[in-house]
Amino acid sequence: MGLDDHLFGLVEQKVTESMNANLIKKFTVDEIDHAIKMLAPLHTPGVDGFSTIFFQRFINKTRIVLIPKVEKPKNMSHFRPISLCNVIYKIITKV
């Protein structure tokens, strides 16, 4: 028996086998749709500049745009990428 086994033996198990099975199953489209609809649509936008209402209306649209940080950019470090993935973390949490 290793050190980890001894330590884990001291911690009360909270997640049952059936709970774990639910946690590791794949999300359904309906669950994702429901999670998006549960989010407040007009809260402050995330770092990407978009509020949840944008994702509620355009869930199947994903865009990545390069915004120039300097005038006359010459290499990739002169651009800031903007993506629409920040609300995805909220969706996963809700699902």
Asked whether residue 34 is assigned to any structural domain, the reply reads: yes
The pLDDT of residue 63 is: 63
Asked whether residue 13 is assigned to any structural domain, the reply reads: no
Residue 51 has pLDDT above 60, yes or no: yes
Residue 5 has pLDDT above 80, yes or no: no
Asked whether residue 57 is assigned to any structural domain, the reply reads: yes
Asked whether residue 40 is assigned to any structural domain, the reply reads: yes
* Integer Cα distance of 45 and 48 in angstroms: 7
* Integer Cα distance of 39 and 48 in angstroms: 17
Asked whether residue 69 is assigned to any structural domain, the reply reads: yes
Domains identified in the chain, total number = 1
The pLDDT of residue 49 is: 78
Asked whether residue 3 is assigned to any structural domain, the reply reads: no
Q: Whole-number mean pLDDT of the chain?
A: 80
Structure confidence at residue 2 as a pLDDT band (50, 70, 90):
low
Range of the domain at 86: 26-94
Structure confidence at residue 61 as a pLDDT band (50, 70, 90):
low
Residue bearing the bigger pLDDT, 9 or 72: 72
Asked whether residue 85 is assigned to any structural domain, the reply reads: yes
Asked whether residue 82 is assigned to any structural domain, the reply reads: yes
* Residues of the chain above pLDDT 90, percent: 15
